[in-house]
Amino acid sequence: MSENQAQVIVVGAGPTGLLLAGDLAEAGIDVAVLERRGSDLSNLSRAFGVHARTMEEFDARGLAEELLSLGGARLGGIRLFNRVTLHLAHLESRFPYLLMTPQYNVEKVLLRRALDAGAKFHYDHKVTGIDQSDGLVTVHTEQGDWTATYVVGADGVGSAVRQAVGMPFPGESVLKSIMLADVKLNEPPAESPAIQGINGAFCFVATFGDEYWRIFAWNSADQKGDDEPIDLEEIKEAARLAFGTDFGMHSPRWISRFHSDERQVPDYRDGNVFLAGDAAHCHSPAGGQGMNTGLQDAANLSWKLAAVLRGADPELLDSYNDERHPVGKLVLRSSGAMIRLAAERSRVKAAIGGLAAAAALHIKPLQEKAMGMISGVGIRYGHDHGENHLVGHRAADRDLAGGARLYEALRGGRFAVLDSTEKFEIDGVVTSAASTDPDGEALVVRPDGYIGWAGGDDPEAIRDYLTAHTGRS
């Protein structure tokens, strides 16, 4: 590739863009990352948790242990509506918890991996426009023009890519003057996370497993613009209203104020331009699903871009929007319901809403559904697969013959063919293995850990699926 040209340009070097760039580079795709910030990683850390499904995606890339080594608290439960706890420890996953770790730890791991894989980063590049013609995308920046076959906007809520291609971003503002901080506490709560909403305020307090705690607070009586100065005393006051104490907050390492919108583009694709993460959808931080949803967008899109660039049918890329748009819509609804209940100023309405939600969540199937949605392990793609009822479901990790695990077999962006009598080894992108379950159904597991094909052992049908979805035969 010549200078200022790549097969894929990723705009934005946040978690979503970093995972996507690392996947593509590891697949041998020439990828350039354009980032408007300088090369120093920001200390700001709005995202605070990595859910089980995202940890599984990290495991499929050999990154889970590296992330865990950076520290963080493993929360086995999430308390909702001040009345019911979702016991994440019951999840059928190698990671049955919410890992409380600052966003910059996630970025550190993903950046290291992307650089090692050969992704090229270009900082201080602000996108000013985009043109598409003859199967190529031209990205205009203040530093010059770039061209690529595909461009992915992973550049956040104010996405320059989204604006450049004219994608609408319908929705509404839900709350303004939400306050975030990482602080030390002299008198920490007895449990983490601690969540309370009352007296026109709410507050979320959770430990990172070290000396710092994440605070997420809102006070209906203290409403200011995003750019107005913020003082720790404002956060303390919100905590005192909600909990009756400020836990002795002190020594903030950072404080931020922002507003929460609920927005989603109608389609994640415009020609050869795609959106992922907050550029495609934004919602309240309730449930800690924002960064996780973006990372899972990237995991879904990366292998499809790599496959098409290797020769697979370009229509495969349409499945990105088909699969991920409904997930984004679901997260908007769930996080919106949580934030609206937490911010309800009427004690009577808050009590009624909380009791109704708690009563529903005490029903085991509904509680399991809520856990699956928030943690991500219950997400499935599509509902019309005929007899292949497993297609679109997350593939849980399992032991394979020879001592390896399924998610180890997926590393390197590989497909895994399980329990077929025929061995499939297609040019480094497919691995065949037998599970330790002697009655296992023949499956093809996609690189993102979802079942792409299921059925009786039919080598010809499996081969057809792999040819169509890998770009190799």
Q: How confident is the model at residue 82 (pLDDT cuts 50, 70, 90)?
A: low
When mean pLDDT is compared across 204-208, 242-246, 260-264, 364-368, the lowest value belongs to 364-368
When mean pLDDT is compared across 68-77, 191-200, 269-278, the lowest value belongs to 191-200
Q: Are the beta carbons of 278 and 268 closer than 8 angstroms? A: no
Same-domain status, 24 and 153: yes
Same-domain status, 257 and 271: no
Same-domain status, 152 and 119: yes
The reply to whether 356 falls in a domain is no
- Residue after which a domain boundary falls, among 202, 235, 262: 262
The reply to whether 291 falls in a domain is yes
- Range list of H helices, 81-143: 103-117
Same-domain status, 198 and 323: no
Q: Which of 406, 427, 402, 403 is nearest to 418 (CA)?
A: 406
Asked whether the predicted pLDDT for residue 358 surpasses 60, the reply is no
Mean pLDDT of 225-246: 93
Same-domain status, 142 and 21: yes
249-264 β-sheet, strand order: 194-198, 201-207, 213-219, 171-185, 249-264, 281-282
pTM of this prediction exceeds 0.85: yes
- Residue after which a domain boundary falls, among 262, 294, 314: 262
pLDDT for the residue 386: 54
What CATH number did the domain enclosing 137 receive? 3.50.50.60
The secondary structure of 289-352 as a DSSP string is -HHHHHHHHHHHHHHHHHHHHHT--GGGGHHHHHHHHHHHHHHHHHHHHHHHHHT---HHHHHH
- Residue after which a domain boundary falls, among 333, 353, 380: 333
Same-domain status, 163 and 285: yes
What CATH number did the domain enclosing 181 receive? 3.30.70.2450
Segment 106-145, tens digit of pLDDT = 999 999 999 999 999 999 999 999 999 999 999 999 999 9
The reply to whether 237 falls in a domain is yes
Same-domain status, 275 and 327: yes
The reply to whether 72 falls in a domain is no
Same-domain status, 317 and 209: no
Distance of CA 30 to the CA centre of its chain: 23
Same-domain status, 22 and 139: yes
| CA separation for the pair 373, 69 (Å, rounded) | 26
Q: Give the list of residues 6+ apart from residue 425 with CB closer than 8 angstroms, or none.
A: 431, 432
When mean pLDDT is compared across 137-141, 310-314, 389-393, the lowest value belongs to 389-393
Same-domain status, 424 and 466: yes
For CA atoms 290, 291, 297, 300, the dihedral sign is negative
Same-domain status, 269 and 247: no
Mean pLDDT of 213-221: 91
* The most confident of 22-26, 97-101, 373-377, 383-387, by mean pLDDT: 22-26
Q: Give the list of residues 6+ apart from residue 3 with CB closer than 8 angstroms, or none.
A: none
| CA separation for the pair 146, 321 (Å, rounded) | 25
Q: What percent of the chain has pLDDT over 90?
A: 62
Mean pLDDT of 208-235: 91
Mean pLDDT of 171-182: 86
Q: Look at 334 and 407; give whichever has higher pLDDT.
A: 407
Mean pLDDT of 82-109: 86
The reply to whether 186 falls in a domain is yes
Domain encompassing residue 325: 5-48+102-170+265-333
Q: Are the beta carbons of 102 and 182 closer than 8 angstroms? A: yes
What CATH number did the domain enclosing 460 receive? 3.40.30.120
The secondary structure of 32-55 as a DSSP string is EEEESS-SSPP------EE-HHHH
The reply to whether 132 falls in a domain is yes
The reply to whether 86 falls in a domain is no
For the chain, how many structural domains are there in total?
Answer: 3
Backbone angles phi, psi at 8, to 5 degrees: -135, 135
The reply to whether 125 falls in a domain is yes
Same-domain status, 179 and 217: yes
